């Protein structure tokens, strides 16, 4: 077979991404049709910037979901004749091409970039969600009650924030730190907060209905502690909840670095909102403090928090890419974008494609998240 020209390479990549295009069309069409019923999410489609960011982000989300259908080769498989080949080179004994060329280990760059999206979008959003649960669970009472509780928690948050982020991240994910047991201790503390958050949320909501409260809180505790035992201590006998030690290091580091910033944002918002009339009305009705914090104040803080959530995923994506670039990612053969860039940079002046393609992918995802956050900020200010 003949090598492909660039127009043919782009045409074949467009065809490979057909599940993504189909999912995007359906998602955008349904969202536009029902946007007046979808609250802040629906209003996002009134913003050109927000819509563009949404499309870019969802492109990568659907790429991660359908990665197995999109890739043309196993992302870690090596074909000896394909080392550092140019984009569009045909694979001997096959009817396929290395669409974006091969890297220094003769792996398909296109398949590695596609599968790298799954790796990045598995870690970054999940870790950011847990960081938000930690920050919200501690930030709400700190801002609402103030006093010594606020002073103590703020001191701890400021202590963590005083370290340079990259240095702190580097220290937390080095292989040597795993031997000290620090990641497991941090996981034991941080992974407990989602269980506490969901349990307190349901308890405060259904406090006046003991039967439903006990059912919901009991179910949340059962599932939460089951997941907690597997993720933090690898003690789930079913194996459903488990985490590789390298992944645990990275995951815990992301949560630990992000949680103090989320705490400070939530604390500041609560200190501003706790003097509002609807809070006083809730106190007059005899509502408990956790009900007021979680069901009165928190919903009214959703705009800034959603915007920060999008920005924080982008920030985390860059951090993960940086870790991979320094060889401290999930695993050496992992197709995550940072590791792929690091692999390609060694021959950048001779064969630029193994490093440039994942760098462009990382840039586009972060750009999409920033545009999405800008659109959400615009619409939340009008809300």
The tens digit of pLDDT for each residue in 263-275 reads 999 999 999 999 8
Cα–Cα dist 140/268, whole Å: 9
pLDDT at 383: 58
The tens digit of pLDDT for each residue in 91-128 reads 888 888 898 888 888 889 999 999 999 988 988 899 99
Give Cα separations from 340 to 16, 95, 103, 322 (angstroms).
21, 25, 9, 11
pLDDT at 322: 76
Spell out a b/e string for 309-343, using b for 16 or more CB atoms within 10 Å of the CB, else e. bbbbbbbbbebbbbbbbbebbbeeebbbbbbbbbb
108 forms bridges with which residues in the sheet?
102
* Residue 323 near residue 175 (C-beta atoms within 8 A): no
In angstroms, the first-to-last Cα distance of the chain is 58
Structural domain boundaries of the chain?
117-326
pLDDT > 90: percent of the chain: 44
* Residue 47 near residue 57 (C-beta atoms within 8 A): no
Report the SS3 class of residue 89.
strand
Give Cα separations from 251 to 11, 125, 128, 132, 233 (angstroms).
37, 10, 9, 14, 14
* Residue 317 near residue 362 (C-beta atoms within 8 A): yes
pLDDT at 296: 92
Give Cα separations from 262 to 151, 265, 370 (angstroms).
16, 5, 17
Spacing of C-alpha 326 from chain mean position: 20
Report the SS3 class of residue 100.
coil
CA angle at 244 for the pair 120 and 122, rounded to the nearest 5°:
20
Q: What is the CA radius of gyration of the chain?
A: 23
The tens digit of pLDDT for each residue in 185-234 reads 999 999 999 999 999 999 999 998 999 999 999 999 999 999 999 988 88
Give the H/E segment covering residue 284: helix 277-284
């Amino acid at each position: 077979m003949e090598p492909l020209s660039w127009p043919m390479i782009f045409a074949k990549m467009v065809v490979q991404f057909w599940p993504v295009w189909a999912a995007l069309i359906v998602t955008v069409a349904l969202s536009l049709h029902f946007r007046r019923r979808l609250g802040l999410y629906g209003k996002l489609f009134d913003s050109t910037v927000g819509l563009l960011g949404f499309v870019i982000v969802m492109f990568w989300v659907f790429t991660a979901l359908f990665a197995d259908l999109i890739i043309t080769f196993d992302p870690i498989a090596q074909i000896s004749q394909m080392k550092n080949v140019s984009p569009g080179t045909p694979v001997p004994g096959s009817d396929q091409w290395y669409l974006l060329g091969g890297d220094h280990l003769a792996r398909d760059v296109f398949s590695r970039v596609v599968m790298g999206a799954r790796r990045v979008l598995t870690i970054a959003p999940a870790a950011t969600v847990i960081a938000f649960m930690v920050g919200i669970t501690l930030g709400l009472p700190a801002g609402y009650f103030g006093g010594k509780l606020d002073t103590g928690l703020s001191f701890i948050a400021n202590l963590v924030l005083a370290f340079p982020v990259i240095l702190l991240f580097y220290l937390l994910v080095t292989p040597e730190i795993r031997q000290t047991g620090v990641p497991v201790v941090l996981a034991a503390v941080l992974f407990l907060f989602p269980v506490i958050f969901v349990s307190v949320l349901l308890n405060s909501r259904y406090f006046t209905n003991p039967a439903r409260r006990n059912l919901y809180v009991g179910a949340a505790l059962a599932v939460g502690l089951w997941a907690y035992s597997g993720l933090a201590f690898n003690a789930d006998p079913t194996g459903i909840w488990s985490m590789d030690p390298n992944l645990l290091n990275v995951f815990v580091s992301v949560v630990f670095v992000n949680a103090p910033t989320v705490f400070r944002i939530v604390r500041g918002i609560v200190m501003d909102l706790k003097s509002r009339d609807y809070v006083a009305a809730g106190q007059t009705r005899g509502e408990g403090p956790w009900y007021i914090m979680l069901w009165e104040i928190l919903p009214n803080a959703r705009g800034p928090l959603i915007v920060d959530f999008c920005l924080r995923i982008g920030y985390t994506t860059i951090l993960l890419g940086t870790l991979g670039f320094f060889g401290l990612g999930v695993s050496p053969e992992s197709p995550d974008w940072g590791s792929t860039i690091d692999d390609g940079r060694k021959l950048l002046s001779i064969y630029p494609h193994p490093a440039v393609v994942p760098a462009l992918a990382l840039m586009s995802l972060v750009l999409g998240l920033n545009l999405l956050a800008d659109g959400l900020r615009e619409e939340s200010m009008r809300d």
